[in-house]
Amino acid sequence: MRVASIEFKARAGEKLADATLQRNLVRVKGKFAAKRAAAMAGFHDFEGLREAGREIRQRTLDDLDVWLGIFERSATAGGATVLWARTPDDINRLVLEIAFRHGVRKIVKSKSMVSEESSLDRAIEAAGLEVIETDLGEYILQINGYEPPSHLVGPALHKSKEEVADLFHRRHKTARKEGIEDLCLEARAVLREHYLTADMGISGGNFFVAETGSVVLVTNEGNATLATGLPRVHVAISGIEKIVPTLEDAATLLRLLPRSATGQPISNYVDVLTGVRGEGEGGVEHMYYILVDAGRTDVLASEVREALRCIRCGACMNHCPVYQSIGGHPYGWVYPGPIGSILTPMYAGLENAHPLPAASTLCNQCGVVCPVKIPLPDLQRKLRERTFERRLAPWSERAALRLWSWVAARPALYGASMRVVARLLRIWGGRERRIRRLPPGGGWTAGRDLPAPDGRTFREQYAARRRAGGKPR
Ligand code: SF4
């Protein structure tokens, strides 16, 4: 498992200095957030729906073993085979065993973040089989040398239309297209051929329904419909946390997911796939579910278990000022943004990813928009505490925090120190009232100026307003 999250700060610095990426990020900045806001405004009780989503996800996680057992029985009754992967390597092994058992040569694949955890595509290619990603974003990344995804919903969001046009021209050896529609048509023509000649389709699973043994797939391109419907074998891979008890629960979550992700009331395609085909029916001959643990039961037993409620909508990253400034790649693994700052340290080890929980302003925008009410900043704070306790942060940072907590525990001393600091910063800001470089290290001001404070602390201003008889604002 290659995890580069420990290099977060250096990689974030590179991305801040990358003019092309910054242009691309500005282009998409706020678009998803605006669409989500419009969808919310047109819904009579979005908060009630969020609460219903939270309740479904939490209730399922509280009895996850029971629901997994029910799912296995239902799926088996429908003719599917349920397999269990304890580790990322197990995913690759199981997929290859299935492929060889059924004489598979070519595999089409719709988006599956779990399969990114095990670098499944590379394992398939190393075994001498052909695999083609069919989600447009994932396809772009695949033909660009397996570039990592940078967003849960739009994996190639960091790329401009021009970059994609150059890539298609180079890889497809066709005339360079200019318009987005032409580029989509070109990709569609290439992919259609693969759907028709593939022996096996691999998908993720937005939800796995316990009562029916079904997998629910949500796409806007219809690629999952083709990838799972045309080949004779279908393998659906997902984390064990994606179980929901009933179809009605799935329907509730389906009202939340696209609205939170792209502002759509419903995505263009929703597939509910159950079992193998019967006599005279359409559908696949062989269906397998691979349910993946790979650290999830440890998360379930931990203080950040609420992170498992995630339905991968991407809203937290669409509203995160850190993600919006650097994109997804500096997070160094499969899951970027606020949810990645919890999942990556939990799945890959805090010692390999401890800068991530600190990559947050704790502004709580992510917590406010999360459709299943995951308290992301609280979870980030818990992992920061573990980072401190395990002495994973640099000694200078730990010493500074110890000093700060010592001062903060003495209100009189804290108040006096803050008065001195506020006045010094006010003077330092000069006539422009901006601080261009702040020691030590200068990290805070490496990429932006710090507005100089007013010169009086919050407490002083509060007391002054009280004395003047005004309401403290
Ligand atoms: S943490 Fe919440 S907002 Fe973020 S991707 Fe998961 S469900 Fe969406």
Determine if ligand 1 sits within 6 Å of the CB of residue 200: no
In the chain, which stretches have pLDDT less than 70? 1, 440-442, 470-473
What is d(CA 388, CA 398) in angstroms, rounded to the nearest whole number? 7
What is d(CA 18, CA 44) in angstroms, rounded to the nearest whole number? 42
Determine if ligand 1 sits within 6 Å of the CB of residue 379: no
The per-residue pLDDT for 471 is 64
What is d(CA 392, CA 394) in angstroms, rounded to the nearest whole number? 7
Determine if ligand 1 sits within 6 Å of the CB of residue 316: yes
State the DSSP string of 124-143.
HHHTT-EEEE-SHHHHHHHH
- Inter-residue contact 183 to 140 (CB < 8 Å): no
Tokens 């239902």, located at residue: 74
Tell me, in angstroms, the distance from the centre of ligand 1 to residue 311's CA. Answer: 6
Which residue in 141, 155, 158, 94 sits closest to 120, CA to CA? 94
Q: What is the pLDDT of residues 64-100, one digit of tens each?
A: 999 999 999 999 999 999 999 999 999 999 999 999 9
Determine if ligand 1 sits within 6 Å of the CB of residue 25: no
Tell me, in angstroms, the distance from the centre of ligand 1 to residue 165's CA. Answer: 31
The per-residue pLDDT for 440 is 66
The per-residue pLDDT for 373 is 98
Determine if ligand 1 sits within 6 Å of the CB of residue 370: yes
Query: With left for phi above 0 and alpha for psi between -120 and 50, is residue 442 left, alpha or beta?
Result: left
The per-residue pLDDT for 436 is 87
What is d(CA 120, CA 161) in angstroms, rounded to the nearest whole number? 27
Tell me, in angstroms, the distance from the centre of ligand 1 to residue 26's CA. Answer: 22
The per-residue pLDDT for 40 is 92
Tell me, in angstroms, the distance from the centre of ligand 1 to residue 407's CA. Answer: 36
User: Phi/psi of residue 174, each to 5°?
Assistant: -120, 170
Q: How far is CA 178 from CA 29, 141, 155, 168, in A?
A: 22, 19, 21, 11
Based on the number of CB atoms within 10 Å of its own CB, is 240 exposed (0-12), middle (13-18) or buried (19 or more)?
Answer: buried
- Inter-residue contact 329 to 158 (CB < 8 Å): yes
Tell me, in angstroms, the distance from the centre of ligand 1 to residue 449's CA. Answer: 31
Q: What is the residue extent of each domain of the chain?
A: 43-294, 396-467
The per-residue pLDDT for 118 is 96
What is the sign, positive or negative, of the torsion defined by CA atoms of 386, 350, 14, 143? negative
Count the neighbouring beta carbons within 10 Å of the beta carbon of residue 20.
12
- Inter-residue contact 102 to 232 (CB < 8 Å): yes
**Entry pTM:** 0.92
Atom of ligand 1 nearest to the CA of 152: 5
The per-residue pLDDT for 445 is 82
Tell me, in angstroms, the distance from the centre of ligand 1 to residue 8's CA. Answer: 21
Atom of ligand 1 nearest to the CA of 311: 7
Indicate the DSSP class of residue 303. T
What is d(CA 338, CA 327) in angstroms, rounded to the nearest whole number? 12
Cα 288 off chain centre by: 25
Query: Which residues are paired to 454 by β-bridges?
Result: none
The per-residue pLDDT for 472 is 57
Which residue in 454, 400, 449 sits closest to 425, CA to CA? 454
Which of 153, 260, 342 for a ligand 1 pocket mutation test, highest count of atoms within 8 Å of Cβ? 260
Indicate the DSSP class of residue 302. S
Determine if ligand 1 sits within 6 Å of the CB of residue 371: yes
What is d(CA 289, CA 238) in angstroms, rounded to the nearest whole number? 8
Atom of ligand 1 nearest to the CA of 313: 8
- Inter-residue contact 294 to 117 (CB < 8 Å): yes
Tokens 């092994």, located at residue: 93
Tell me, in angstroms, the distance from the centre of ligand 1 to residue 316's CA. Answer: 5
The per-residue pLDDT for 195 is 97
Tell me, in angstroms, the distance from the centre of ligand 1 to residue 74's CA. Answer: 28
CATH topology of domain 43-294: Rossmann fold (3.40.50)
Determine if ligand 1 sits within 6 Å of the CB of residue 136: no
Which residue in 229, 246, 225, 228 sits closest to 237, CA to CA? 228
Q: Which helix (H) or strand (E) holds 244?
A: strand 243-244
Q: How far is CA 259 from CA 108, 252, 324, in A?
A: 28, 12, 20
Tell me, in angstroms, the distance from the centre of ligand 1 to residue 358's CA. Answer: 18
- Inter-residue contact 99 to 129 (CB < 8 Å): yes
